[in-house]
Amino acid sequence: MGNEENVGKIIDYSGRQFKQIGTRVVRPDGVEKVTGKANFGADFKANGMIYARTVRSPHAHAKIKKINVDKALKLKGVKAVVTGADFPEIDVNDKAVGEVVVSYYDMAHNTIARDKVYYDGHVVAAVAATSADIAEQAARLIEVEYEVLKPVMTAEAALKKNAPVLHKHLFTQGVEPKPDKPSNLAARSQFKLGDIEAGFGQADVVVERTYTTQTVHQGYIEPHACVASITADGMVNVWCSSQGQFMVRAYVAKICGIEISKVKVTPAEIGGGFGGKTVIYLEPLAVALAKKAGRPVKMVMTRDEVLRATGPTSGGSARVKLGAKRDGTIVAGDMELTYEAGAYPGSPVMLGCMTGFAPYDIKNINAVGWDVVVNRPKAAAYRAPGAPVAAFAVESAVDELAEQLGMDPLELRLKNAAVEGTQAPYGVKFGPIGYKETLEAAKNSPQWKAPLGPNQGRGIASGFWFNIGGTSSAEVMVNEDGTVIVATGNPDIGGSRASMALMAAEVLGIPYERIKPLVADTESVPYSMLTGGSRVTFATGKAVIEAAQDAVNDLRRRAAKIWDVDLEQVEWQDGQAVCIESDKHKPLTIANIAAKADKTGGAISGKANINATGAGPGFGTHICDVEVDPETGHVTVLRYTAIQDVGKAIHPSYVEGQLQGGAVQGIGWALNEEYVYSDDGRLLNTGFLDYRIPVASDLPMIDTVLVEVPNPGHPFGVRGVGETPIVPPLAAVANAVSHAIGKRCADLPLSPVRLLSIIDGK
């Protein structure tokens, strides 16, 4: 076992020349994934497993008057049916009040409806049978009687006087006086700096415009899937793809009314999450069905279900007003955001208010956000939640301001860029950040200097994301032959196994290939927060570094015992123990020490349980070149460069992959993606044919530039990188299109139909 002398201490690696960090090693899970052998959520099988399907509401808003399951239960092969009545009722005020507020009431009701359905696709019942076909047939035999209510599909409709109110217990938070009637306006939030009126009073030029975006889905390729089983003595096993096995465990326990110790969650490989798998949908249903049927139950969503009923992010509107002096100094920024939360409160509008102006040093800011419930699926996190919509509006406004001032938009950004010591819109002063460096890198990029042809335009935009730390654990176990296992509790979405192994290899001084990184189940490592918030390489990486250092100390102690010298005489150099005061002892490698572990005290390991602070903020700048076909309104992305301050890139290829992926998702958000509903609130584009995400043939190579301004809060200088890349693209694309056609594009997506109407002035 390891000692505790270094756990919790920051190891100072400043100025260190890395030996393995920053190399482009092959990811440990890569071959299995590209050869189709890796086990994702839908791949798990259990003995005696049966299959379940859901019954979903065809109405966007309705009261459930009656559910009759008799016919379904009589069908041969059907083993169990559950409805909302099979789950414990949760108090409307039951909320997790930790790091973020989570309403268990809303979560439970979103998993399976009780008295009302709130969106097209809301689960009403689930049925398990010996085959998926029988389950599907049985689902069609479940009779649900609805009293159909008028839906409210947009924030505008939801806020109208006499609009149908979704939740009778929903009273607007954050307004004075407190309302005495429920409404669809869930909350108001506001952030202020300085004196906004005085700020605009100093302005020579003012631009103001309202921008809109639509509901978009994260678009992960792997649908939600799980298998659940329950033993006769009530021990629950869940195998599923998610962004956090501990998150699934906690939520399943709560919604099903089970102690946490009785729930074990084993993480599958994950085929994309982007925030959309930080919540649960199927798992409680599968557990309840398994309990009733006495058999393991498998559930896999169809694409139709994924789009109708899981995690989109909010559509919304953003009014932005910017004021600047003639020399380009931005003196005031005013923003009002209205986000559609979906069926339950909790859009990321507050985060939009906190992030929109963050790239700039603006002394006078006012940002107001409105969170509005509508009859769409409940919004879930999506990469940098809330920031892209706000950034779209602010970065478009900065572009328009540059036009009004006759300034280069990059130079305007450079003039106003936030630097170390700048006060962010949410009040905190930034530590060392690399925003200006991203702008300089953009200025020096080949794309910024490339000539443009007819009908072509170039857009530039920047973006900010906080990045977070949080609770993480890691265990480093030295095997008998000196190879090492690094166990952590975070699903590997973007190459984190490779990053964890690299960081452990750097500390231990052994080759990366001798380390096996492991994503462990909830009973094999201590608790970790989920994979999200761009936190894993930063926070779990910090835990891995500390655990590896703990293991090094254990190895030094063993070497001291083998040599019969004081611990102080043993140093760890390049993967081996060296006796510094005597040359009679030959250095001992990990393998040498591991071979004698039984004689020196048993297994060798290190561990760390931390709550990581010191997450460094991320800033990015993107350049987009487009060509617009004036006949068809089709936009071709010609060139694209994504630049970001990433702190220290542990594995540059996977950092570049994050930048490329975020850019591509943002391009889709800007050009094509949107939920299209019928007048009565049914989602019309429920497949990837009609909900069009960009594919490789739509895109040029996304070039990347990694700016490395080390984060002093991490021993290797790491900043989170996964979310910032989706913040700038919406405006980068829209600014490029605006320049190509000579008209400001303020409403996304810029689909051919919409773009033609802008070109034609309609």
Taking CB under 8 A as the criterion, the residue among 146, 251, 382, 640 binding another protein is: 382
First to last CA, the chain: 72
Q: Is 175 exposed, middle or buried (0-12, 13-18, 19+ CB in 10 A)?
A: exposed
Q: Which stretch binds another protein (CB under 8 A): 532-540, 557-565, 594-602, 641-649?
A: 532-540
101 touching another protein, by CB under 8 A = yes
533 touching another protein, by CB under 8 A = yes
| Residue 489 to residue 531: CA distance in whole angstroms | 9
466 touching another protein, by CB under 8 A = yes
Taking CB under 8 A as the criterion, the residue among 4, 70, 89, 99 binding another protein is: 99
| Residue 628 to residue 692: CA distance in whole angstroms | 18
Taking CB under 8 A as the criterion, the residue among 84, 223, 494, 532 binding another protein is: 532
Taking CB under 8 A as the criterion, the residue among 109, 167, 249, 535 binding another protein is: 535
Q: Which stretch binds another protein (CB under 8 A): 15-23, 231-239, 399-407, 530-538?
A: 530-538
State in angstroms the smallest separation of the CB of 358 from another protein. 12
Of 331 and 354, which CB lies nearer to another protein in the complex structure?
354
471 touching another protein, by CB under 8 A = yes
State in angstroms the smallest separation of the CB of 468 from another protein. 6
State in angstroms the smallest separation of the CB of 210 from another protein. 23
Coil, strand or helix at 712: coil
| Residue 127 to residue 49: CA distance in whole angstroms | 14
| Residue 462 to residue 604: CA distance in whole angstroms | 47
Nearest-CA neighbor of 578 among 509, 502, 477? 509
Taking CB under 8 A as the criterion, the residue among 95, 516, 634, 692 binding another protein is: 95
Neighbours of 694 (CB within 10 A): 20
Of 144 and 187, which CB lies nearer to another protein in the complex structure?
187
429 touching another protein, by CB under 8 A = yes
489 touching another protein, by CB under 8 A = no
| Residue 482 to residue 594: CA distance in whole angstroms | 6
| Residue 630 to residue 489: CA distance in whole angstroms | 51
526 touching another protein, by CB under 8 A = no
644 touching another protein, by CB under 8 A = no
Amino acid at 337: L
State in angstroms the smallest separation of the CB of 179 from another protein. 14
State in angstroms the smallest separation of the CB of 185 from another protein. 14
Of 353 and 476, which CB lies nearer to another protein in the complex structure?
353
**Apex 44 CA angle, 523 and 39, nearest 5:** 90
Q: Which stretch binds another protein (CB under 8 A): 110-118, 294-302, 383-391, 732-740?
A: 383-391
Handedness of CA 173, 174, 180, 185 (dihedral sign): negative
Supply 209's token pair.
């415009």
State in angstroms the smallest separation of the CB of 351 from another protein. 7
Of 151 and 616, which CB lies nearer to another protein in the complex structure?
616
Of 154 and 528, which CB lies nearer to another protein in the complex structure?
528
| Residue 109 to residue 250: CA distance in whole angstroms | 16
Instruction: Examine the residue annotation and report whether 723 is marked as an active-site residue of this protein.
Output: yes
696 touching another protein, by CB under 8 A = no
Of 2 and 273, which CB lies nearer to another protein in the complex structure?
273
660 touching another protein, by CB under 8 A = no
Handedness of CA 377, 618, 356, 352 (dihedral sign): positive
Helical ranges in 112-215 per DSSP H = 132-141, 155-158, 196-201
| Residue 188 to residue 175: CA distance in whole angstroms | 7
Taking CB under 8 A as the criterion, the residue among 29, 206, 303, 426 binding another protein is: 426
State in angstroms the smallest separation of the CB of 189 from another protein. 7
| Residue with tokens 């559950």, as numbered in its chain | 82
How many chain residues bind another protein (CB under 8 A)?
52
Among positions 143-202, residues that touch another protein (CB under 8 A) are: 173-174, 176, 188-192
Pairing of strands 702-707, 635-645: parallel
614 touching another protein, by CB under 8 A = yes
Q: Which stretch binds another protein (CB under 8 A): 97-105, 114-122, 139-147, 597-605?
A: 97-105
| Residue 396 to residue 416: CA distance in whole angstroms | 15
534 touching another protein, by CB under 8 A = yes
574 touching another protein, by CB under 8 A = no
State in angstroms the smallest separation of the CB of 146 from another protein. 33
| Residue 724 to residue 466: CA distance in whole angstroms | 8
Pairing of strands 588-589, 576-579: antiparallel
Taking CB under 8 A as the criterion, the residue among 264, 383, 413, 557 binding another protein is: 383
669 touching another protein, by CB under 8 A = no
Per annotation, catalytic residue among 506, 656, 673, 723: 723
| Residue with tokens 């005290």, as numbered in its chain | 601
| Residue 225 to residue 42: CA distance in whole angstroms | 5
| Residue 61 to residue 91: CA distance in whole angstroms | 22
Of 360 and 572, which CB lies nearer to another protein in the complex structure?
360
Amino acid at 59: H
| Residue 306 to residue 282: CA distance in whole angstroms | 11
* Size (the chain), residues: 762
427 touching another protein, by CB under 8 A = yes
Q: Is omega for the bond preceding 223 within 30 degrees of 0, making it cis?
A: no
State in angstroms the smallest separation of the CB of 271 from another protein. 16
Among positions 247-276, residues that touch another protein (CB under 8 A) are: 273-276
381 touching another protein, by CB under 8 A = yes
> Do the beta carbons of residue 747 and residue 212 sit within 8 Å?
yes
238 touching another protein, by CB under 8 A = no
| Residue with tokens 């032959």, as numbered in its chain | 481
Taking CB under 8 A as the criterion, the residue among 1, 31, 100, 221 binding another protein is: 100
Of 190 and 455, which CB lies nearer to another protein in the complex structure?
190
Coil, strand or helix at 707: strand
Of 257 and 421, which CB lies nearer to another protein in the complex structure?
421
State in angstroms the smallest separation of the CB of 376 from another protein. 18
| Residue with tokens 């920031």, as numbered in its chain | 387
Taking CB under 8 A as the criterion, the residue among 318, 468, 487, 737 binding another protein is: 468
Name, in order, each residue with C-beta under 8 angstroms of 343's C-beta and a sequence gap of 6 or more: 110, 118, 119, 122, 166, 373, 374, 375, 376, 377, 378
Taking CB under 8 A as the criterion, the residue among 97, 232, 689, 696 binding another protein is: 97
State in angstroms the smallest separation of the CB of 350 from another protein. 5
Q: Is 509 exposed, middle or buried (0-12, 13-18, 19+ CB in 10 A)?
A: middle
66 DSSP assignment: E
The string of DSSP letters for 610-669 reads EEE--PPPEEEEEEEEEEE-TTT--EEEEEEEEEEE-SS-SSHHHHHHHHHHHHHHHHHH
486 touching another protein, by CB under 8 A = no
742 touching another protein, by CB under 8 A = no
State in angstroms the smallest separation of the CB of 55 from another protein. 29
| Residue 620 to residue 624: CA distance in whole angstroms | 13
Taking CB under 8 A as the criterion, the residue among 268, 282, 373, 384 binding another protein is: 384
| Residue 266 to residue 46: CA distance in whole angstroms | 13
Of 274 and 572, which CB lies nearer to another protein in the complex structure?
274
Taking CB under 8 A as the criterion, the residue among 48, 201, 257, 431 binding another protein is: 431
Residues at the interface with another protein (CB under 8 A):
95, 97-101, 173-174, 176, 188-192, 218, 273-276, 278, 348, 350-351, 354, 381-385, 426-431, 465-471, 532-535, 611, 613-615, 713, 723
Q: Which residues are catalytic?
A: 723
